[in-house]
Amino acid sequence: MADIVSSTDRIAASITQAIVERRLMPGTRLAEQQLADIYGVSRTLVRQALNQLSRHRLVTLTPARGACVAEPSVEEARQVFELRKMLESSLLAQLCNTITPAQIRQLREHLKLEREALKRTDVPGRTRLLADFHVLLARLHGNEVLAETLADLLSRCSLIALMYQSSHSAAESQAEHEAIVNALQARDKRALMKLLDNHLGNVEANLKLEPRAPDLAAALKAA
């Protein structure tokens, strides 16, 4: 039984990572037999993994199409960012009171990895590291449930970015992470709250969340 759970989790983690690293696009069909061949497992295990991802809103299961990578709506995108702001502002306010020098060193090591990924123009690596920064903050606070919740939200943010991101700069996001760690080290809660609000606001602002043209006539008028 443990082997079955392990295989299911492994497949789910692999697909999630491909989404986070922007290797799987929204709407990509996930054929059970093809996945079974790729992972060398039965279709039953693949189906269990897809069901798991469906519960996390990363995969959509429909009778006609089967499984495909989810395509978040504009409203869902807005709600995800609203929830992130609520959770992360509370997290940072508490962490500001308890952060230790050793934890600051951990954060600075992570920032170093972010900078290195940027220099290498390692898009999958930097995307994963920029997301992991927020999960690391929750782990340093000691709240594993919150860390898992943020990891799920950040995976959904990756899907949202794939569909709606315009020209947001990874370098800009990394610089904002540096400023957040500096404010944590200084225990400057007011600056920290402002930095977080600006950081998440900048990411959301660089998403094209305006509704698309509803029909051909409206689209052609824009030209």
Burial group, residue 15, by CB count within 10 angstroms (0-12, 13-18, 19+): buried
Report pLDDT for 218. 45
Whole-number percent of the chain with pLDDT over 70: 88
With cut-offs at 50, 70 and 90, classify the pLDDT of residue 219.
Answer: very low
Using DSSP bridges, classify how beta strands 59-62 and 66-69 pair: parallel, antiparallel or unpaired: antiparallel
Report pLDDT for 40. 92
Assess whether pLDDT exceeds 50 at residue 66.
yes
Amino acid at 14: S
Report pLDDT for 217. 47
52-56, 63-67, 82-86, 121-125: segment of lowest average pLDDT: 121-125
Using a CB cutoff of 8 Å and minimum separation of 24, what contacts does 109-114 make? 110/136, 111/174, 111/177, 111/178, 111/181, 114/174, 114/177
Assess whether pLDDT exceeds 50 at residue 1.
no
Give Cβ neighbours of residue 27 (< 8 Å, ≥ 6 apart): 68, 69, 71
27: left (phi over 0), alpha (psi -120 to 50) or beta: left
Give tens-digit pLDDT for 192-217. 999 999 998 887 777 766 544 444 34
Report yes or no: 190 and 104 within 8 Å, Cβ to Cβ. Answer: no
Report pLDDT for 154. 87
The token pair that represents 211 in the structure block: 């509704």
- The SS3 call for residue 68 is strand
Assess whether pLDDT exceeds 60 at residue 168.
no
With cut-offs at 50, 70 and 90, classify the pLDDT of residue 5.
Answer: low
HSE-CB of 179 using CA atoms within 13 angstroms: 16
With cut-offs at 50, 70 and 90, classify the pLDDT of residue 3.
Answer: low
Closest alpha carbon to 83 in 172, 142, 153: 153
d(CA 53, CA 71): 13
Report pLDDT for 215. 47
Give tens-digit pLDDT for 48-61. 999 999 988 889 99
Q: What is the mean pLDDT of residues 146-155?
A: 89
Mean pLDDT of the chain: 85
d(CA 141, CA 108): 16
Quickly list H helices, the chain. Answer: 2-20, 32-39, 43-55, 74-98, 101-119, 123-141, 144-164, 170-186, 189-205, 216-222
